[in-house]
Amino acid sequence: MSDGPTYGFDTLQIHAGARPDPATGARQTPIYQTTAYVFRDAEHAAALFNLQEVGYIYSRLTNPTVAVLQERIATLEGGVGAVCCSSGHAAQIMALFPLMAPGCNVVASTRLYGGTVTQFSQTIKRFGWEAKFVDTDDLAAVEAAIDENTRAVFCESIANPGGYITDLDAISAISDKAGVPLIVDNTSATPYLCSPIKHGATLVVHSTTKYLTGNGTVMGGCVVDSGKFDWAASDKFPSLSAPEPAYHGLKFAETFGPLAFTFHSIAIGLRDLGMTMNPQAAHYTLMGIETLSLRMERHVENARKVATWLENDDRVEYVTYAGLDSSPYKAREAQICPKGAGGLFTFAIRGGYDACVKLVDSLEIFSHVANLGDTRSLIIHSASTTHRQLSPEQQEAAGAGPNVVRVSIGIENAEDLIADLDQALSKATA
Ligand SMILES: *Cc1c(COP(=O)(O)O)cnc(C)c1O
């Protein structure tokens, strides 16, 4: 089908990027389980290697199954192109790679997935990159943190672990003024609940491992390009604006216009970093995306019910769900995520660290796992697991103190989830 702008989200999540297989007519997108593709002739091969013609060479760069997923996610996010990769963490490196150089920094929110805080505060230093962490609710601090070596601002739309909603309009106004791209991790919200590009994001990154695949089966990541950033407006982004020696001096921004970032990510990023998504993973994720809107509606409905019940329980100190009327982020739900604040939040219980550990061990339906965005309800005690590498100050700043657990509410019957929490809270706080 032609992906006209007139189609709704539910139609696009099933059809965008896909067409009956040209070889067989297969209605479902086949898994192209191949590493290489036969060239028509030597001239065709040369044109492909020179980027003069777009086509398939080798599956480290492009694969037809993965290409359908890329087009599907780009369409749902309202971007011009997307590149899939092996995990959400790979997507973050793939997003930063064309922008950064030794000595450059990314201004990042303090409220991020625990693994991202570690990746940014420790590992990227090995590349000579630096992350400057700021509270993205403090707009003056965000503005002040951006300096002449800043090459990106990074935040999550619905932020881990508390489910806080970031004011993307305000942050993108600041990054625009500074002439640097805004990268938004939209994993927890998904394109069904939030459209970061409409709120000014330059690039959107995903861990497709989570809600997009939806049932905890395969790892994957994606970087979506809005196509709106002018990489040649300054000399800050030479990978995209200056001649590329590996392609006879080709300038990506000049040659590919709004698709410069996407082409660079395939022709340089995947080619040389090799963080490729495999076609099996793309298949599972395509299956998942077909039901994304239905699942997200139920995730939101259940999260509202469970959070409301918890908030009214004496054994619970507080609940962070942004969809609650009592939440300071409630107004941002209407502004940024009008279809709901997602399925992820934290709550604090009386009894501290020990009670939290007892709670996770007493639950029967909720699984104690380091994951989110599954059809199943999940729980984790962040302070003893995902946020363990963080200092106590970083844990508090991230909303992952010792008395706090994070839940990812699944699509089971809400009444069953509430009953399970009720019995486990009794044991935990006895
Ligand atoms: C899981 C997650 C990541 C990392 O993704 P992986 O697929 O596990 O590498 C990044 N950001 C957020 C918000 C996540 O939930």
Q: Over the stretch 212-250, which tens digit does the pLDDT of each residue have? A: 999 999 999 999 999 999 999 999 999 999 999 988 899
**Angle value at C-alpha 61, between 55 and 66, nearest 5 degrees:** 80
Q: Is 293 in the pocket of ligand 1 (CB under 6 A)?
A: no
Could you tell me the two tokens for 6? 């007139």
For residues 150-158, average pLDDT: 98
Task: Round the average pLDDT of the chain to a whole number and report it.
Answer: 95
Residues 6+ away with beta carbon under 8 Å from 350 = 315, 316, 317, 403, 429
Q: Is 137 in the pocket of ligand 1 (CB under 6 A)?
A: no
Q: Is the dihedral of CA 293, 295, 300, 301 positive or negative?
A: positive
CA of 101 to the centre of ligand 1 (A): 23
Minimum-distance ligand 1 atom for the alpha carbon of 220: 7
Exposure on the CB side of residue 156, measured as CA atoms within 13 A: 28
Give the mutation target among 209, 275, 372 for probing the ligand 1 site: most ligand atoms within 8 A of CB.
209
For residues 406-427, average pLDDT: 98
**Angle value at C-alpha 122, between 119 and 127, nearest 5 degrees:** 85
What whole-number percentage of the chain has pLDDT above 70?
A: 99
Give the mutation target among 73, 94, 187 for probing the ligand 1 site: most ligand atoms within 8 A of CB.
187
Q: What is the pLDDT of residue 382?
A: 85
Q: What is the pLDDT of residue 49?
A: 86
What whole-number percentage of the chain has pLDDT above 90?
A: 88
Nearest CA to ligand 1 atom 11: 113
CA distance 281 to 420: 33
Kindly give the interhelix angle for 64-77 and 279-289, rounded to the nearest 10 degrees. 40
* pTM of the model as a whole: 0.96
pLDDT band at 114 (very low <50, low <70, confident <90, very high): confident
Q: What is the pLDDT of residue 2?
A: 53
Nearest CA to ligand 1 atom 2: 207
β 182-185/203-207 pair status: parallel
CA distance 246 to 252: 12
Q: Which of 10-14, 51-55, 143-147 has the least mean pLDDT?
A: 51-55
Q: Is 185 in the pocket of ligand 1 (CB under 6 A)?
A: yes
Q: What is the pLDDT of residue 246?
A: 86
Nearest CA to ligand 1 atom 8: 88
CA of 88 to the centre of ligand 1 (A): 5
- SS3 call for 43: helix
| 270 secondary structure, DSSP code | I
Q: Which of 51-60, 176-185, 225-234 has the least mean pLDDT?
A: 51-60
Amino acid at 116: T
What are the residues facing 367 on neighbouring strands?
378
- SS3 call for 61: coil
Contact by Cβ (8 Å): 157, 189: yes
Query: Whose structure tokens read 């509410």?
Result: 409
Contact by Cβ (8 Å): 360, 405: yes
Q: What is the pLDDT of residue 298?
A: 98
The DSSP H or E segment spanning 261 is helix 260-264
Q: Of 284, 288, 262, 278, which is closest to residue 66 (Cα–Cα)? A: 278
Q: Would the pLDDT of 389 be above 90? A: no
Query: Whose structure tokens read 């070889």?
Result: 23
Q: Is 219 in the pocket of ligand 1 (CB under 6 A)?
A: yes
β 105-109/316-319 pair status: unpaired
Q: Is 160 in the pocket of ligand 1 (CB under 6 A)?
A: yes
Q: What is the pLDDT of residue 5?
A: 58
**What is the dihedral angle through the alpha carbons of 78, 83, 85, 89, rounded to the nearest 10 degrees?**
-60
CA distance 428 to 414: 21
CA of 385 to the centre of ligand 1 (A): 15
Each residue's pLDDT tens digit, 337-378: 999 999 999 999 999 889 999 999 999 999 999 899 999 999
Q: Is 89 in the pocket of ligand 1 (CB under 6 A)?
A: yes
Got the DSSP string for 323-370? TSTT-TTHHHHHHH-TT---SEEEEEETTHHHHHHHHHHH-SSSEE-S
Got the DSSP string for 100-132? --TT-EEEEESSS-HHHHHHHHTGGGGGT-EEE
Each residue's pLDDT tens digit, 244-289: 998 889 999 999 999 999 999 999 999 999 999 999 999 999 999 9
CA of 116 to the centre of ligand 1 (A): 8
Could you tell me the two tokens for 109? 């929110």
Helix count and strand count (H, E) for the chain: 18, 14
